[in-house]
Amino acid sequence: MQQASFRKMWLSSLLKRVLKAMRPPKPASQAANYETWRNNFMQSRLHLGLWVALIFFLTFTALELRNLWFKPAQFKEEWLITQIIVESCLLFCLALFRLPVGRRHPTLVFLILSWSVTIGPQLRSSFNGHFEPSLLVWPLMFFGQATLMPVRWGLHLISQLGVLFYCVVAVAFLGLKVKMPAVWLTPSAMILYMFWICFICNLSVYLYERLQRAEFKARRDLEAAYCQLQSEQERSEKLLLNILPETIAIRLKKEHQTIAESFAEVSVLFADIVGFTEISSQVSPRELVKLLNEIFSAFDHLAEEHGLEKIKTIGDAYMVVAGLPVQREDHAAAIADMALDMQQALAKINSQTSQNFRIRIGIATGPVVAGVIGIKKFIYDLWGDTVNMASRMESQGIAGRIQVTRATYECLKKEYIFEERGLVAVKGKGEMSTYLLVGKGR
- Can you tell me the distance from the alpha carbon of 366 to that of 265, in angstroms, rounded to the nearest whole number? 5
Q: Which of 307, 437, 438 is nearest to 365 (CA)?
A: 437
One-character DSSP codes across 103-167 = HH-HHHHHHHHHHHHHTTTHHHHHHTTEE---TTHHHHHHHHHHHH----HHHHHHHHHHHHHHH
One of 119, 248, 273, 359 is an active-site residue; which one?
273
Between the two ends of the chain, the Cα-to-Cα distance in Å is 79
One of 272, 311, 335, 363 is an active-site residue; which one?
272
Query: What b/e readout covers 339-356, taking b as 16+ CB neighbours within 10 angstroms?
Result: bbbbbebbeebeeeeeee
Domain locations in the chain? 17-223, 251-394
| Confidence band, pLDDT 50/70/90 cuts, at residue 25 | very low
- Span 288-307, pLDDT tens digits: 888 888 888 999 999 989 98
Average pLDDT of 28-57? 80
Phi and psi for 286 in degrees, rounded to 5? -65, -45
Average pLDDT of 425-434? 82
- Span 320-373, pLDDT tens digits: 999 888 888 888 999 999 999 999 998 898 888 777 888 899 999 999 888 877
313: β partners: 318
One of 112, 248, 295, 316 is an active-site residue; which one?
316
What pLDDT is recorded for position 29?
Answer: 41
Angstrom CA distances, 107 to 86, 171, 402, stand at 19, 28, 79
pLDDT over 50 at 28, yes or no: no
- Span 109-119, pLDDT tens digits: 899 889 888 88
- Can you tell me the distance from the alpha carbon of 35 to that of 202, in angstroms, rounded to the nearest whole number? 19
Instruction: Assign domain 251-394 to its CATH superfamily.
Output: Nucleotide cyclase, GGDEF domain (3.30.70.1230)
- Can you tell me the distance from the alpha carbon of 106 to that of 151, in angstroms, rounded to the nearest whole number? 12
Q: Angle at the Cα of 13 (from 8 to 19), degrees rounded to 5?
A: 125
Instruction: Return left, alpha or beta for 228; rule: phi > 0 is left, psi -120 to 50 is alpha, else beta.
Output: alpha
Q: What amino acid is encoded at 59 in this protein?
A: T
* Those residues with Cβ within 8 angstroms of residue 133's Cβ, 6 or more apart along the chain or in another chain: 167, 178, 180, 181, 190, 194
What pLDDT is recorded for position 158?
Answer: 93
- Span 75-107, pLDDT tens digits: 888 788 888 888 888 898 888 888 888 888 888
- 330 tagged catalytic: no
Length of the chain, in residues: 442
- Can you tell me the distance from the alpha carbon of 368 to that of 352, in angstroms, rounded to the nearest whole number? 38
One-character DSSP codes across 269-280 = EEEEETTHHHHH
- Can you tell me the distance from the alpha carbon of 153 to that of 203, in angstroms, rounded to the nearest whole number? 8
Q: What amino acid is encoded at 367 in this protein?
A: P
- Can you tell me the distance from the alpha carbon of 295 to that of 314, in angstroms, rounded to the nearest whole number? 14
- 316 tagged catalytic: yes
Alpha helix (H) ranges present in 169-272? 187-243, 246-254
- Can you tell me the distance from the alpha carbon of 22 to that of 19, in angstroms, rounded to the nearest whole number? 5
Burial of 425 per CB tally in 10 Å (0-12, 13-18, 19+): exposed
- 273 tagged catalytic: yes
One-character DSSP codes across 250-262 = HHHHH--S--EEE
Average pLDDT of 140-158? 90
| Confidence band, pLDDT 50/70/90 cuts, at residue 47 | confident
Q: To the nearest 10°, the Cα dihedral for 74, 77, 83, 84? A: 140
| Confidence band, pLDDT 50/70/90 cuts, at residue 245 | low
User: pTM of the prediction?
Assistant: 0.53
Query: What b/e readout covers 145-162, taking b as 16+ CB neighbours within 10 angstroms?
Result: bbebbbbbbebbbebbee
What pLDDT is recorded for position 30?
Answer: 47
Antiparallel, parallel or unpaired: β 317-322 and 260-273: antiparallel
417: β partners: 439
